[in-house]
Structure 1
Amino acid sequence: MTIRPGTTFLDDRGRVAQLHGIGVQRVGDRWFAWGEDKTAGQTFTAVACYSTADFATWRFEGNALEAADGDIGPDRVVERPKALRRPDGTWVLLLHIDTTDYAAARVGYAVSDRPEGPYRYMGSERPLGNVSRDIGVYQEAGIGYLLSEDRDNGLHLYRLRDDYLAVESIVATLRQQMRPEIGYESPTLVKHEDRYHLFGSDLTGWSLNDNMHATAGTLEGPWSPWRGFAPAGSRTFDSQVSVVVPVDSGFIYVGDRWQSDDLFHSPAVILPLRIDGDSAVLEWRDAWTPGEA
């Protein structure tokens, strides 16, 4: 199947796939994806779950989490759904939990026996007392990690507790080189060979920007200076990174092209990403076939 970046994708029901802000994990021979259902615009409707074998065709697996009370009420903001599977087999869904004025700034946790859910919401926290907005996750050797944007202090890489339902400690904190020396949002982290690669977006709201990339030999650092990975001035091909996915043929970049006045129809930019040593390169393709990553 052919992928055309910058378009909306339809699921197996013929409906617009709600892939916004997605997290992705491989489950058997398919990739599962959890996205923000933007039926209600900014406020919470559900976390939709899909699966795909090729990032071109999407099968709806159901709503992993639906609006209820409190943190996940229909008047709240629930974003950046990212899932991890604990060593005991339990799936944990991590979420950015907020109010419409973004004053709450918390990370939420939900659990399920199945990747598609339904998930049971467990509550939220400000990790170690810090503001938490956009999030990402990473897992290695059974240890779970949370990436969390804290514009007061920087982009934190936290180690999660053994049950993945709270933060245990800070592993590293990264800031921008330029002023103001804040962190990056919408973070995602992958490892290639012996290097960790961290990607993030500048804090410009719905407005797009040149996303950045840093590397390190260990999670603790030292981390390299931030550098662009798409052509300068392209605003990352008018997208904001959501996740970088390791696939058999390399890596796939999945970004959001936000339409603030019609979030439901915001397109996805899905492109092959080349990682080599300390470098990451994203190039535009009008159309491409999975397996070329």
Structure 2
Amino acid sequence: MRWLAFTVLLAVSPLAAEEPVPGSNPIIRDRFTADPAPLVIGDTLWLYTSHDEVADGEMFNMKEWLAYSTTDMREWTFHGSVMNIKGFAWASHDAWAVQVIEKHGRYWLYAPVEHDATKPGKAIGVAVSDRPEGPFVDAKGAALISNDMTPKGTHSWEDIDPTVFTDDEGTTWIAWGNRQCYIAKLGDDMISIDGPITEITPPHFEEGPWLHKRGGLYYLTYASLDRSDHKDERVSYATATTPLGPWTYRGELTGSGEGSFTIHPGIAEFKGQWYLFLHNAALTIGDRKGALGRRAVTVEHLSYDADGLMRPVIQTAAGITAPPP
């Protein structure tokens, strides 16, 4: 009788947890990833991330940038490390939030790092490859943007989190920052700044800007922090009719990521649907739980109203496996 009861118990309450549905959140489950940056090339969406490798007691330990690809937003192919921070000989550590774009038939990677002692503070490097999966190599041999180029800033880590975007006229813009948000034109060579650096800081801007365009509107989406009210970053956005603004603040797009102080938006249109990539700290791998330096990439459906404003997004475990709103 005891054997029969145990058999029935197994049938009703299986010991093994169900496998997550492909495409549900987090979308990458075998390692900790953060700062998602999508890039659409034909019928494939590429996703570039930073790699969280922090041990207990550390804040961040990030040494490389990774690439994934998908054709259906459900199954993801891992392409390995596209570049290690050692590829920037002038940098010392901190391979933080990256973005890759295509121009002139090549792929350009823009990433923040800690500069060596010759130019203290955070800096932004640019690398190039003939293939989206890399490997990427330093395209300039020096920082594209260094802390001494933004002397009005309040701290040494303001020059982080680059976002790059090519407008309809073929001009490529780069925006970046922490607490202050800056924008500038890139030279046609993709490794120089062409003209002045302009501050465009919107309300509650903290870091992680992302530029995109839909219809006649430019969107500046970013990690925001209302220090009078919130303890964790959320996602807010502003709109403008030109990259230089003036930018109109449109409010919060999402709340904070589960278990995470930071958040980082990445936006793409793929096969007729819009997607918002984020990160949280909801993933556990073995005995390693999510934390400030152990984050996980997520994705949600994104939609717009009749005026072109983005509708608020609720972060879910189902992600895009649920129907679009």
| Structure 2 contact 128–136 (Cα < 8 Å) conserved | yes
Q: Show CA shifts across 1:33-59 (max 9, x none).
A: 111122356234321111112333210
Q: Structure 1 residues 235, 43: CA separation in 2 closer, same or farther (over 3 Å shift)?
A: closer
Q: Show CA shifts across 1:7-54 (max 9, x none).
A: 3524xxxx33x5411221112211111111223562343211111123
Report % sequence identity. Answer: 17
Q: Show CA shifts across 1:75-122 (max 9, x none).
A: 500111111112x2121110011169x952211011111111111123
Q: Structure 1 residues 290, 93: CA separation in 2 closer, same or farther (over 3 Å shift)?
A: farther
Q: Show CA shifts across 1:243-269 (max 9, x none).
A: 111223332111111489746752223
> What residue identity is the alignment partner of 1:57?
E
Q: Structure 1 residues 31, 116: CA separation in 2 closer, same or farther (over 3 Å shift)?
A: same
| Structure 2 contact 127–137 (Cα < 8 Å) conserved | yes
Given the alignment of the two structures, is residue 129 of structure 1 paired with residue 145 of structure 2, yes or no? no
1:208 maps to 232
1:108 maps to 125
Q: What SS class does the counterpart of residue 279 from structure 1 fall into? A: coil
1:195 maps to 217
Question: How far has the Cα of 1:286 moved from its partner?
Answer: 4.1
The more displaced of 249-258 and 280-289 is: 280-289
| Structure 1 contact 31–51 (Cα < 8 Å) conserved | yes
| Structure 1: runs of 5+ lacking an equivalent | none
| Structure 1 contact 32–50 (Cα < 8 Å) conserved | yes
> What residue identity is the alignment partner of 2:70?
T
Q: Show CA shifts across 1:190-228 (max 9, x none).
A: 1111111111112599x6223211011222222112411
1:148 maps to 176
2:166 maps to 139
Which one has a bigger Cα radius of gyration?
Answer: 2
2:99 maps to 82
Distance in structure 1 (CA, Å) of the matches to 2:101 and 2:225 = 26
Size of the alignment, in residue pairs?
A: 275
Q: Structure 1 residues 262, 221: CA separation in 2 closer, same or farther (over 3 Å shift)?
A: closer
| Structure 1 contact 192–275 (Cα < 8 Å) conserved | no
Q: What SS class does the counterpart of residue 214 from structure 1 fall into? A: strand
| Structure 1 contact 72–78 (Cα < 8 Å) conserved | no
| Structure 2 contact 300–315 (Cα < 8 Å) conserved | yes
Q: What SS class does the counterpart of residue 238 from structure 2 fall into? A: strand
Q: Structure 1 residues 286, 120: CA separation in 2 closer, same or farther (over 3 Å shift)?
A: closer
| Structure 2: runs of 5+ lacking an equivalent | 1-20, 151-157, 283-288
What is the alpha-carbon root mean square deviation over aligned residues? Answer: 3.2
The more displaced of 62-71 and 47-56 is: 62-71
Q: How does 1:205-284 map to 2 (within 5 A)?
A: 208-230=232-254, 234-235=255-256, 240-258=263-281, 262=291, 265-276=294-305, 277-281=307-311, 282-284=313-315
Distance in structure 1 (CA, Å) of the matches to 2:79 and 2:322 = 21
Given the alignment of the two structures, is residue 63 of structure 1 paired with residue 81 of structure 2, yes or no? yes
> What residue identity is the alignment partner of 1:186?
G
Distance in structure 2 (CA, Å) of the matches to 1:284 and 1:69 = 35
Structure-2-length-normalised TM-score? 0.73
Q: What SS class does the counterpart of residue 124 from structure 1 fall into? A: coil
> What residue identity is the alignment partner of 2:24?
R
2:321 maps to 289
| Structure 2 contact 45–270 (Cα < 8 Å) conserved | no
